[in-house]
Structure 1
Amino acid sequence: MAQLFISYRSSDGRDKATALARDLGALYGDQQVFLDKDDLRAGVRWRDEIASTLKQQPVLLLLLTPHLLAASDDRGQLRIDDPADPVRREVADALAGGAHLIPLLCDGVTAPPPAADLPPPFNRLGEFTWRPLRAYDWEHDVRRLVDDLQALGIAPMQPAAMAAAAAARPSVGRARRRWLVAAMAAILALALGIGGYALRAARVAESPSNTDVTGAWSATLSSDETLSLSLRQTGDQVELNSRPVPISQRADWAEYRSFWRERFGSELDTVTYRGKGSASALPGEQLVVDIALQIVSTPGDVLVDTGNLNATITADGSTMAGTLWLNSKQLERELRLARRPSAK
C-alpha cells in the first residue's frame, strides 16, 4: 500500500501533483506514491478506492494552491464548504485515520489561512508544519521534503534499486535520472553526517575551471524556436532570465492564449522565462546545470507554467546540451545552448 498520498485541486494543481509524483516515485518507488489519475484502477468506485488507501495512514501531501481553498462551484459557493468536495473528503478521511499531513505551499501561497476562516477539516491545517514547493526552487524543496519524510520513518530506496528503477522509466529523461541519482547520493551523505554544503563545494572544486556559465546564451529548441537567455553563476548557484519571448504567432500557445483571453479579458503576447538552480560536477565529468523554471506573463508577472532545464556544458565551455521539461505539457524536449559573444 502506498505510503505517500498526494491531494490536490485539479484546476491548478495537476501539473505540480504529477511532477511531484514522478520525482517521489523515482526516489521511493512508484508503488509507494498514490496519485489518483495514475493509481485508480478501471472499474472501481474512485471514492471507495481513495478512502481505502487513506485508511492505511499514509502521509498526506496536500498541495495548497490558490484554487484549493478558493475554488467555487457553478452556484458561486466555495467547494471546500461542500462535504462532498473530493479534496475535503480526502483531508477529512486522512485526519480521521490518523495520517500525518504536510501542507505544501505552491504558486505564491505563503501560509495557510487562519483557522477561523476555514471550515472543518481545513481549519486544522495550522496544526501541521508546512513546507514550500516552489517551481523556481523545486529541487531544493523536494529534497527538504524528503528529509521530513525520512524523519517520519519513510526512507527512499537504496541507490542501486533507485538507479535501476529510474533507468527503467521511459518517461524520465537522462538528465532527470541524473538529478534523482544525485539527490539520493546527497540524502545518504547527509545521513552519514556529511554536510550538503561541503558536498556541493567539493563538486564545484573538482569541476573544470572553464565551466562558469555566467553570460548570455542562445537556447535552440527547434529550427524556429530560440530563446535568448542570461545565466549568472555564483558558486554552485545559477540564476536564469530570458528576454521577452513573443508567442502571439505560435500555434502551441493558441489554446492557452484563448484561456487567458477568457479569464483576463486581455491578450497574452509575450512571456519570460526565469529560474534558479544549481551547478555541479561529479569527479571526471563536465558541469551540469539544473534549474527550476517559471514562465510568467510579460507584463504582469503572472505565473503561466513551470518546468525544469537541465544541461551539461562541453569541455571548451562554449555550448551546452540538455533537456527542457514543461509541467503543463508533461513533455521533455531536447535543447542546445550556445554561448553568445560578450559585448565589447
Structure 2
Amino acid sequence: MPSSPGPLVFISYRRDDAAGYARAIASELSRRWGADRVFIDVDDIGAGQGFAQVIGQAVDTASILLVLIGRRWRGEREGQAPRVQDPGDFVRLEVAAGLQRGMTVIPLLLDGAAMPPGADLPPDIQALSSLQALELGNSRFAADVERLVAVVGERLGSSPVQPGRRGWIVAAAGALGAALLAGGWWARSRSVARPAIDGDWVAELRYAWEPAPRTERFHFTGEGRQLAGTASFLGVPRGLVEGEVDERLVRFATRTAEMGGAEMTHRYQGRLDDDGVLRLMMQTEGGSGPNAPLEFVARRAEAHAPR
C-alpha cells in the first residue's frame, strides 16, 4: 500500500502564546486543502508517539512552515533566558529545521505583535527576522485568513479545494458526474453523510472578561449539509447563519448587537469527534474591543446534566 502524502503546511506555535489562533488557522486550511495536508501537533501526534520524532518527520515532508508569533512567542521567563534560547525548545527546532531545509517560511504576526529582532534570536533562527510577515488581527480575522489562504495557494502552486467539496466530486465532474448530478444523486448521497449533530448541546466557555465560566447552549437542526438552529452568547440564544456541515466538520455564525449599536459576528468552526464530543473554535469579529479565538468543547445536553 503506498504511503499517504505528507502535510503541505506545518503550523509552528507556542501553546501559551497562540494556541487559539493555531487551531482556527488549522481548521480553515484543513477545510480548503484537507486535514491530512495540514500538521498541527494537537491533532497529529497520537498517544505513545514521540513528540520530537513526529514533528521532525512532518517538517521534513511539509512545503510551507507557518510561524505564529504572538506577544509571548519568545517564551519569556522570570529570571531566565527566554525559552527560544534553549537548544531543545521545540519552537526553535521547528523554525530552524524549516530555514535549513529552504522551506517557504511565513511568519504570522498576531494581534499587533512585532517581529523579534534578529539580535534577540539564537543564531540558527536569526534569518526569521528578515522574512516578509503577514498580520492577523481579531477584528479582521476572516479577511486576514483569506489573504493567508491566497498566499499559501500561490506558494503551493495550487488552488484550495472549495469549502464542502472533496477530490472525488471534482473527478466526477465529467460525463458520469453530470448524469449523477442531474438525477439528484449527489444531494441524496450528501444527506446520508450528515453527522449526528442535531439536538441540544451544552458547553462551558470562559470569556476573557468574566471571572467564572459561563454555560452556553446550542440547538442544531437541518437536512443534508444545512445547519440551522440557535447558539447562545452570554446566555441569550442567537439564530444561526451561514450554517454548514460536511462529514464531521461544522461551521456557523451568529450575530450580536452591543449597547451603542456596534454589531459583532461570532464565527464557529470545528468537528465532531469519534467519541461524540463537539470541539469548536469561536472567533468574534467587530464590537468595541479585540477578542482572541476561544476554543471549547460542547457535549450532548443529556450527557452534561448532573447525575
TM-score of the superposed pair, with normalisation by structure 2: 0.57
The alpha-carbon distance between structure 1 residues 274 and 331, as it changes in their structure 2 partners (threshold 3 A), is farther
1:16 aligns with 2:26: no
Aligned equivalent of 2:85, options 78, 81, 86:
81
How far apart, CA to CA, are the structure 2 residues paired with 1:47 and 1:53?
10
- Distance in 2 (CA, whole Å) between partners of 1:79 and 1:6 is 18
Q: Alignment partner for residue 4 of structure 1, among 9, 15, 21? A: 9
Written as runs of structure 1 = structure 2, the 5 A alignment for 1:113-124 is: 113-124=116-127
- Structure 1 residues 226-265: aligned runs within 5 Å: 226=236, 242-243=258-259
**Secondary structure at 1:329 match in 2:** strand
Question: Aligned AA for 1:225?
Answer: G
Runs of 4 or more above 3 Å deviation = 167-171, 273-278
How many residue pairs match? The answer is 213
Contact kept, 8 Å, 2:10 with 2:62, in 1: the verdict is no
Alpha carbons 2:69, 2:109 under 8 Å: kept: yes
Q: Give the superposition deviation at 1:295.
A: 8.2
Q: SS in structure 2 opposite 1:221? A: strand
Partner of 1:127: 130
Contact 2:283 2:292 in 1 (8 A): no
Cα pair 1:61 1:102 within 8 Å, conserved? yes
Q: Does 2:293 match 1:329? A: no
Aligned to 1:197: none
1:225 aligns with 2:228: no
Unaligned ranges ≥5, structure 1 = 179-218, 229-238, 245-272, 279-289, 308-326, 333-344
User: CA 1:73/1:329 → structure 2, altered by over 3 Å: closer, same or farther?
Assistant: same
Show CA shifts across 1:14-41 (max 9, x none). 1111111111111100000000010012
Matches of 1:170 and 1:130, distance apart in 2: 40
CA contact (8 A) 1:104 1:132 kept: yes
Matched, 1:306 2:306: no
- Could you tell me which amino acid in structure 2 is paired with residue 63 of structure 1? L
Distance 1:67 1:96, change over 3 A: same
Letter in 2 for 1:118: L
8 Å CA contact 1:2–1:32 kept in 2: the answer is yes
Report the Cα distance in structure 1 between the residues aligned to 2:90 and 2:82, rounded to whole angstroms: 13
- Say if 2:166 is the partner of 1:161: yes
1:55 aligns with 2:60: yes
Summarize the Cα distance change of 1:154–1:220 in structure 2 as closer, same or farther, 3 Å threshold.
closer
Q: Give the secondary-structure state (helix, strand or coil) at the position aligned to 2:161.
A: coil
3-state DSSP of counterpart to 1:150: helix
CA distance in 1, matches of 2:160, 2:97: 26
Q: Are 2:9 and 2:39, in contact at CA under 8 Å, matched by a contact in 1?
A: yes
Instruction: Tell me the alpha carbon deviations over residues 58-93 of structure 1, each in whole angstroms, 9 at most, x when there is no partner.
Output: 201111111112x23475321111111110011011
Give yes or no for contact 2:99–2:125 (8 Å, CA) kept in 1.
no
Which letter does structure 2 place at the counterpart of 1:293? E
Question: Hey, what's the Cα distance between the residues in 2 that align with 1:124 and 1:174?
Answer: 50
1:157 is matched by which residue type in structure 2?
V
1:156 Cα deviation from its structure 2 partner: 1.2
1:37 matched residue in structure 2 = 42
Aligned position for 2:103 = 99
Residue deviations 1:236-261, cap 9 Å, x none? xxx976249xxxxxxxxxxxxxxxxx
Percent of aligned positions with the same letter in both sequences? 28
Task: Classify the secondary structure of the residue corresponding to 1:68.
Answer: coil
- TM-score relative to the length of structure 1: 0.52
Question: How far does the alpha carbon of each residue in 1:131-185 deviate from its partner, in whole angstroms, 9 at most, with x for none?
Answer: 1122221111111111111211243125631797xx76779x999x88xxxxxxx
Change over 3 Å in CA distance of 1:125–1:154 after alignment to 2? farther
Q: How does 1:183-198 map to 2 (within 5 A)?
A: none
C-alpha RMSD of the superposition: 4.0
Contact 2:63 2:104 in 1 (8 A): yes
1:28 to 1:98, Cα distance in 2 relative to 1, 3 A: same
Give 1:291 shift.
Answer: 7.9
Q: Tell me if the contact between 1:104 and 1:133 (Cα under 8 Å) persists in the aligned partners.
A: yes
User: Equivalent of 2:140, from 137, 142, 153?
Assistant: 137
Cα drift, residue 294 of structure 1: 6.8
Write the letter of the residue equivalent to 1:149: V
- Alignment of 1:293 onto 2:285: yes
